[in-house]
Structure 1
Amino acid sequence: MTLGKRALLVIFPVILIIQLIAATTAYLTQRASLLGLEQARLAQQLSALKSAYLDYEAFNRSVLYSIIDSEALLLFLRESDTAFRNETLGLRIQQSIRSLSNTKLTFVSFAIVQPDGTPAYYFESSLSPFATMNATQQRIVREARQSSAVSGMVYVEEAEGGPLLLDTDFILPASSSRPLPSQRAEAFTLQLAVRPERFIKLKRSLEQEYGAPVEIAPQLAPIEPGLSADMLLSRSLYARLTPAPEYIAERLRTLGLAFLAGGSLMCLISIALLLWLIRRYVTGPISELDDQLTDLLLCRRAALDEPSEGGEIGRLTVNMKTLHERNTAALQRIQEISWTDSLTQISNRAHFGILASSLYEQSIEQHKRLALLFLDLDNFKQVNDQHGHDAGDALLRMFARRVQGLLRQHRVHHPDSETAFARLSGDEFAILLQTGTGDGGLPALCEALLELCRGGFSLDDRVYPVSVSIGTAWYPDDADSITQLLTRADTAMYQAKAEGKSTVVAFSAALEQHNDRMRLIEDELRALDGEAQWRLVYMPALDREGAVVSCEVLLRWHSPLLGTVSPGEFIPIAERAGLFPKIDSWVIDHALADYPRLVELFGRQVILAINVSSAQLTDDRICRYLIERAAHHGVEPGRIEIELTETYAAELSSDTMDVVQAIRQAGFRVAIDDFGVGYTSIQQLLEYPADTIKLDMAIIRRLTRPDMQESLNALVAFCQAQGKRVNAEGVDSLEKQSALLQAGCDLFQGYLISPPRSLAALRDWMAVRNRAEGALRLEQLPPRAEVLAG
């Protein structure tokens, strides 16, 4: 039987079936595309609805903020003459609203409600001169006063006259600032309401088009899968549109009929055309070309033969030969590029994943151990920020070359081990080390990597103090998958960072428990009630005569779930999670409330020292809060000292320096805490806007040794020469106190004098001191150091 007849007998039924399958597949694909298109269109419609809603919400918020910041509102709140306030100042507020309002809005209202719930002023855009707040507006005001939420934007579907969008806020008349949730009872309530006509019109248009209502609610119930779209209009408001079933059924029916007719016609045309083409062009020459291609695909030959005849098949052979050669070269080049980091010329993350999977599978099959070293360069960001990315790139290339050379030496000394090195991202690198039953020289390799970076990197006559932190994890000891191995090595690396950088930390169960506890502490900090779980203690500081001149307030936390959590544990977590504004506000408010009791104990000149998170110094909100709270509690700013850590002070930018200067200009004192543990230069010390330098207990421990007395004298004298008072922390022995007295230190603070105490315990401590001083007056006075120690 000839090849033509065979083609006819074989291809006819095959093409018929293929065409039918193709038509059916195309229908199903098009059906899915239609559903997807309708779904996308539905989502787009809801996006337009959301955009309309957000326009009104943004209008509400901007107008209300503008009114809150306006001079007319401040005069209104502070004016005692009701008639003048409502007629003159009320008119100015109306003019402000009209100037900010869109003329297309059919309804705009603004209300000011007094702390007792009585409307102080109400204005709306209706023609009625006797308009008052409706029941919905009054209900929203009451609910906002009782809520602890910050946002006050509410959408009400069933309101008098139609849907309303209401924004509610509060303001303290005395300070013209927004109150805490606990202060809302003494604040005026401001409410702006608009009728979102364009939003309502668009919503009704969608309901008419799709034959189904648009659901709008704070929470939507689950529905069956199908054509439907949900959209988050705002932080707590959702919209859902589920078209009626007949909406999509008609479109699918029309599509099915069209594909049935079109598929049948295309099937017949394709069969006829393919049979003709096969008979004319393919039957003869294709057999030889097919044989060559088969051999090429099976790797039995390296290239196609040169064509022996012209025509389409000849040109096709030439083109396929050229395409094969180009594809082979391109694939080889693509593989090299896709697996190589363009900067360091080592493996990249994608290639590392392939290498890791391969070594992991080998380790399973051959019962070998696999170690992962996660490397992160310390202080690399400072290199990029201070010296530019060119310097950072050169440093990364140098580091990669050094590590490659180190790994070559390691393989020479440990021939049974296998390594892989890759750059994962930025300044993060990873090393895989496969070995038999031993450690494969991992400790020596880690030490060599640390040594590689000791002394930093020298580039262009400049030394960059960049080191490396390393986290390690083993398979199968620490992980049972390559993903878990990478995660746990990364966890160990972050622990190495936390322990001071330039060190190696191996993953352990204790480290995992530590990380779990850190996550639990963060979750508890986000949800805790400060009034129930936080308390304040105070640590007094004495002058050279033994008098208490200041008290540092310290926060203590006892969690019902975690028990007592030390500040050293939860404060870094709170700073990293951005929770310190909440903590600082609570501490400042309650410490200032306690200040009169400190005055009762130690006199009117006692200074209250409050630690403030460095993250709070990015803008002047902390300064305004301090001023407002000090005025609220009646405490003079000069009696309050704000403590900043020395590590942060060494990195003061122009913006944060402005905030610190603003705090001092407001009358508050500023102290640099933990001095001696950072990287402060003499020039920076001269520029510090500080009244007090608090020497850290670590430097006190070193400098109070007899052989360091002169250095201690010089340090104290230098600080005092700049007009700064010196406070020594960590005074826990008479020897240290005596050395500090000899050096001329101004203040003394530590467990020798008093540990942190509650106000009640401070009262008892002071009573004991007073009785001891009374007894000492009747006897010969002991040395000064013993007097201070009490």
Structure 2
Amino acid sequence: MTLGKRALLVIFPVILIIQLLASTTAYLTQRASLLGLEQARLEQQLLALQSAYLDYEAFNRSVLYSIMDSEALLLFLRESDTAFRNDTLGLRIQQSIRSLSNTELSFVSFAVLQPDGEPAYYFESSLSPFASMDETQRQIVAEARRSSRPGATRYVAHADGGPLLLDTDFILPASSSRPLPSQRSEAFAVQLAVRPERFLKLKRSLEEEYGAAVEIELHQLPVESGLSAAIALSPALHARLTPAATYTAERLQTLALAFVAGGSLICLVSIGLLLWLIRRYVTGPISQLDDQLTDLLQSKRTALDEPTDGGEIGRLTVNMKTLHERNTEALERIQVISWTDSLTQISNRAHFGVLANAMYERCLQAHRRLALLFLDLDNFKQVNDQHGHDAGDTLLRIFAQRVRGLLKRHQLEHAQTDVAFARLSGDEFAILLMTDASDGGVDELCAAVLDLCRGGFRLEDRLYPVGVSIGTARYPDDADSITQLLTRADTAMYQAKAEGKSTVVAFSRELEQRNERIRLIEDQLRALDGDDQLRLVYMPALNREGTVVSCEVLLRWHSPILGTVSPGEFIPIAERAGLHSRIDNWVIDRALAEYPKLVELFGAEVILAINVSSAQLADDRICNYLLERAAHHGVAPGRIEIELTETYAAELCTDTMQVVQAIRRAGFRVAIDDFGVGYTSIQQLLEYPADTIKLDMAIITRLTQPDMQQSLSALVAFCHAQGKRVNAEGVDNMEKQSALLQAGCDLFQGYLISPPRSLAALEDWMAVRNRAQAALRLEQLAPDALAR
């Protein structure tokens, strides 16, 4: 249950009870006040009715007395001519009545009655020519003649046409005076009747309002219980009004409804006001704080708002804000640690994955492009192995700092480009660029990265020949996802390594096809049956006298699916896939098994040169295997020469050096193959535990030029000075052989001498060569015999 609902459950019953008590008390008080006000109002209206009656009563008497005192009435009474009296004098009386009337009257009548009771004159304001005196009026005149009391105004409720006010008096014609009560039988009676319209209108209004008749009686009327009022309209006339029961009930019902509605409204307003105040100052700030904390947990906001007031809630907000900020700082530190490479202080692989996925999503929404640069340092292992991991770590930090600075400059020049830079592992780095539809300067950036490493790195007065190979791939041209983009950039990077390092290779469909072939070759190597698909060929090496002193064993593979695959293609694949040891072991075993045939062809001193994969030198098992197989086939270790590539020799570390020295101590010879294609220094050449230096065909081609003869001679002399014999590979013409002979080279190997041959072909080659040498000797002996 929310805090607001709890507050409502607490507040609502309390406010409701208080409001019920207050409303009930107020209703009872107001009810009494209402009844009192209604009573006073009723009495006030009856007073107004009384005032209207008295006004008409005073008017009647005033007009009647004025007429009785007028000369027109006296002349009327004394005139004996009835026609003249009724026409002329009656008209004067009418004029007197109209002139004395100061109010608009709907009905006025004036009558003069003879002593015998017969009307002598009658006038009324109606338009009827046959109007006559009402019988009730005559009875009132008769009663007045008999009465001994002075004349009084009479209220006639049931007269024709409606209620009337009647005033009757008497006059003696002879003396024009008022008669005594005993003389009334001899006097003329004068009666004035008016209809009190305003009085009647007020009476009808009261009756309509109160739903009851106004009682008018000659005697005094008592006041009834409840709402009721009585008043004396005149000393002889009384009125009473008792409103209908429904009138009071309606008023009380209206009051009750008003109090119920008002009380409910006040109750609701009070509850609403209290809830608003509680929400404004209590639950609202707490709910706001709860919403902010919820948004923080859902990552919809990054910080709490500053509190706007003090008090407990404000202090709670401040404390929560402080706690969140501390937790945020701690989480940020943890995230920085978990997402930052501790050595180079750039993003690590995990953070790069997050950044790459985010950039990929933005690319999908904005239809932009991605470019991935996969970087791998060349010859970095040599630095670690020969100079220690501290030097390698320093080199990685310097490289990362240089690239980061380069990326900042690149972003300044390409403002619309977003960049992610990370160390993936070891000496592998990745740069991810999000660009517009244009190239985004990717080629320019690749060239700049290459320039960073051109010439190597100098640390503490030592130059490290470390370069960088770069593979690039683009989305959506080359890949459909970040994972595929990484894979294909990595593939392009390995191709850059294969093409000689320190270069850039962009992923292409041709490269994909090449990788497909690599995968196919790897699959075939895993299922390889060496005895069925592999065979050995031999390439002899001659000394300066033309004698075959060694044979290099070379491997050939003919796959039933791929056909013939060259060693230059499948050996690196086997090394990467970890399949080299099985192939090397087969080559060693088969070559040692065939060695006796070489002895038959070239003599017991012939050397068997075997190429061993550089990856085999990771542990000493190769040495044990060589010893075991040599003993098994009865071949002396001194007759076997293990060839290592110059590139791998340049990367010899302590462990591999120990393996090579163990091979030499076991009696095997060691040769450095392909010398001149790597980064071997003079110091390293001095340290190599090698018996033979095999000059690579590329350096032979260059140094056998006429202008390079001295350099060639110096190189051969230097090797001799170190106790190493020199074997020249790639001798394919007489000019090269002549230059090498002049330089003092020890052994010669190449197509000029013999291409790689099988044992059977080598046997034929040797037979042909023996016959040619025999013929040559005969030619040399013939002149000597003739001379003798």
For Structure 1 versus Structure 2, the TM-score category normalised by the shorter chain is: 0.5 to 0.7
2:563 is equivalent to residue 583 of structure 1: no
* Alpha carbons of structure 1 residues 445 and 681: separation in structure 2 relative to 1, 3 Å: closer
SS of residue in 1 equivalent to 2:772: helix
How much is the aligned-residue C-alpha RMSD, in angstroms? 3.5
Pairs within 5 Å for 1:119-198: none
CA shift, 1:569, in A, is 1.6
SS of residue in 2 equivalent to 1:420: strand
Equivalent residue, structure 2, for 1:338: 335
CA shift, 1:290, in A, is 3.7
How far apart, CA to CA, are the structure 1 residues paired with 2:511 and 2:526? 23
Check whether the contact 2:732–2:752 (CA below 8 A) recurs between aligned residues.
Answer: yes
Equivalent residue, structure 1, for 2:307: 304
How far apart, CA to CA, are the structure 2 residues paired with 1:621 and 1:346? 40
Equivalent residue, structure 1, for 2:198: none
Provide, for residues 272-327 of structure 1, a one-character-per-residue CA deviation record: whole Å limited to 9, x for no partner: xxxxxxxxxx999853344433674598982334454xxxxx3x663343113431
Q: 2:283 aligns with which of 281, 284, 287?
A: 287
CA shift, 1:742, in A, is 1.4
CA shift, 1:755, in A, is 0.8
SS of residue in 1 equivalent to 2:289: helix
CA shift, 1:655, in A, is 5.1
Equivalent residue, structure 2, for 1:690: 690
Name the amino acid aligned to 2:719.
Answer: C
Pairs within 5 Å for 1:514-553: 514-553=514-553
Name the amino acid aligned to 2:534.
Answer: W
- The count of aligned residue pairs is 504
How far apart, CA to CA, are the structure 2 residues paired with 1:691 and 1:292? 83
Check whether the contact 1:471–1:489 (CA below 8 A) recurs between aligned residues.
Answer: yes
Equivalent residue, structure 2, for 1:648: 648
Pairs within 5 Å for 1:78-93: none
CA shift, 1:441, in A, is 1.7
* Alpha carbons of structure 1 residues 536 and 324: separation in structure 2 relative to 1, 3 Å: same
Check whether the contact 2:385–2:653 (CA below 8 A) recurs between aligned residues.
Answer: no
How far apart, CA to CA, are the structure 2 residues paired with 1:725 and 1:772? 28
Equivalent residue, structure 1, for 2:733: 733
* Alpha carbons of structure 1 residues 628 and 322: separation in structure 2 relative to 1, 3 Å: closer
How far apart, CA to CA, are the structure 2 residues paired with 1:396 and 1:661? 31
* Alpha carbons of structure 1 residues 433 and 745: separation in structure 2 relative to 1, 3 Å: same
* Alpha carbons of structure 1 residues 659 and 447: separation in structure 2 relative to 1, 3 Å: closer
Equivalent residue, structure 1, for 2:746: 746
Provide, for residues 676-701 of structure 1, a one-character-per-residue CA deviation record: whole Å limited to 9, x for no partner: 23343444434444332222212211
Name the amino acid aligned to 1:373.
Answer: L
Equivalent residue, structure 2, for 1:571: 571
Check whether the contact 2:382–2:650 (CA below 8 A) recurs between aligned residues.
Answer: no
Equivalent residue, structure 2, for 1:322: 319
CA shift, 1:567, in A, is 1.0
Equivalent residue, structure 2, for 1:221: none
How far apart, CA to CA, are the structure 1 residues paired with 2:576 and 2:6? 77
* Alpha carbons of structure 1 residues 407 and 556: separation in structure 2 relative to 1, 3 Å: same
Q: Percent identity?
A: 73
How far apart, CA to CA, are the structure 1 residues paired with 2:7 and 2:661? 97
Provide, for residues 521-548 of structure 1, a one-character-per-residue CA deviation record: whole Å limited to 9, x for no partner: 2332232111111111111112223222
* Alpha carbons of structure 1 residues 285 and 450: separation in structure 2 relative to 1, 3 Å: same
Pairs within 5 Å for 1:390-789: 391-653=391-653, 656-777=656-777
CA shift, 1:484, in A, is 1.7
Name the amino acid aligned to 1:641.
Answer: E
How far apart, CA to CA, are the structure 2 residues paired with 1:536 and 1:732? 22
Name the amino acid aligned to 1:540.
Answer: P
Equivalent residue, structure 1, for 2:176: none
CA shift, 1:438, in A, is 2.1
Structure 1 alignment gaps of length 5 or more: 11-281, 309-313, 782-790
Name the amino acid aligned to 1:588.
Answer: I
Check whether the contact 1:709–1:743 (CA below 8 A) recurs between aligned residues.
Answer: yes
Name the amino acid aligned to 1:451.
Answer: D
SS of residue in 2 equivalent to 1:641: strand
Structure 2 alignment gaps of length 5 or more: 13-277, 782-788
SS of residue in 1 equivalent to 2:375: strand
How far apart, CA to CA, are the structure 1 residues paired with 2:420 and 2:653? 42
Check whether the contact 1:696–1:728 (CA below 8 A) recurs between aligned residues.
Answer: yes
Equivalent residue, structure 2, for 1:134: none
Equivalent residue, structure 2, for 1:362: 362
How far apart, CA to CA, are the structure 1 residues paired with 2:619 and 2:424? 35
Equivalent residue, structure 2, for 1:191: none
SS of residue in 1 equivalent to 2:757: coil
CA shift, 1:589, in A, is 2.1
Check whether the contact 1:469–1:501 (CA below 8 A) recurs between aligned residues.
Answer: yes
How far apart, CA to CA, are the structure 1 residues paired with 2:545 and 2:532? 39
Pairs within 5 Å for 1:258-273: none
Check whether the contact 2:411–2:417 (CA below 8 A) recurs between aligned residues.
Answer: yes
**After TM superposition, what 4+ stretches of structure 1 lie above 6 angstroms from structure 2?**
282-285, 298-301
How far apart, CA to CA, are the structure 1 residues paired with 2:636 and 2:649? 25
How far apart, CA to CA, are the structure 2 residues paired with 1:683 and 1:284? 83
SS of residue in 1 equivalent to 2:753: coil
- Rg larger in 1 or in 2? 2
* Alpha carbons of structure 1 residues 336 and 512: separation in structure 2 relative to 1, 3 Å: farther
SS of residue in 2 equivalent to 1:755: coil
How far apart, CA to CA, are the structure 2 residues paired with 1:425 and 1:633? 45
CA shift, 1:768, in A, is 2.6
* Alpha carbons of structure 1 residues 7 and 711: separation in structure 2 relative to 1, 3 Å: same
Check whether the contact 2:385–2:651 (CA below 8 A) recurs between aligned residues.
Answer: no
How far apart, CA to CA, are the structure 2 residues paired with 1:515 and 1:663? 36
Check whether the contact 1:732–1:753 (CA below 8 A) recurs between aligned residues.
Answer: yes
Deviation larger for 758-767 or 330-339: 330-339
SS of residue in 1 equivalent to 2:678: coil
* Alpha carbons of structure 1 residues 684 and 461: separation in structure 2 relative to 1, 3 Å: closer
* Alpha carbons of structure 1 residues 459 and 585: separation in structure 2 relative to 1, 3 Å: closer
Deviation larger for 523-532 or 598-607: 598-607
Name the amino acid aligned to 2:306.
Answer: A
TM-score, normalised via structure 1 length? 0.57
Check whether the contact 2:470–2:505 (CA below 8 A) recurs between aligned residues.
Answer: yes
CA shift, 1:494, in A, is 2.8
Name the amino acid aligned to 2:509.
Answer: A
How far apart, CA to CA, are the structure 1 residues paired with 2:550 and 2:631? 20
CA shift, 1:392, in A, is 4.7
SS of residue in 1 equivalent to 2:557: strand
Name the amino acid aligned to 1:367.
Answer: H
How far apart, CA to CA, are the structure 1 residues paired with 2:712 and 2:641? 25
* Alpha carbons of structure 1 residues 323 and 465: separation in structure 2 relative to 1, 3 Å: farther
Equivalent residue, structure 2, for 1:55: none
Name the amino acid aligned to 2:289.
Answer: L
Check whether the contact 2:289–2:317 (CA below 8 A) recurs between aligned residues.
Answer: no
How far apart, CA to CA, are the structure 2 residues paired with 1:686 and 1:305? 79
How far apart, CA to CA, are the structure 2 residues paired with 1:522 and 1:583? 13
Name the amino acid aligned to 1:720.
Answer: H
Provide, for residues 153-207 of structure 1, a one-character-per-residue CA deviation record: whole Å limited to 9, x for no partner: xxxxxxxxxxxxxxxxxxxxxxxxxxxxxxxxxxxxxxxxxxxxxxxxxxxxxxx
Name the amino acid aligned to 1:293.
Answer: L
Check whether the contact 2:386–2:652 (CA below 8 A) recurs between aligned residues.
Answer: no
Provide, for residues 120-175 of structure 1, a one-character-per-residue CA deviation record: whole Å limited to 9, x for no partner: xxxxxxxxxxxxxxxxxxxxxxxxxxxxxxxxxxxxxxxxxxxxxxxxxxxxxxxx
CA shift, 1:747, in A, is 1.5
SS of residue in 1 equivalent to 2:477: coil
Check whether the contact 2:608–2:641 (CA below 8 A) recurs between aligned residues.
Answer: yes
Provide, for residues 535-566 of structure 1, a one-character-per-residue CA deviation record: whole Å limited to 9, x for no partner: 11111112223222221111111112222121
SS of residue in 1 equivalent to 2:583: helix
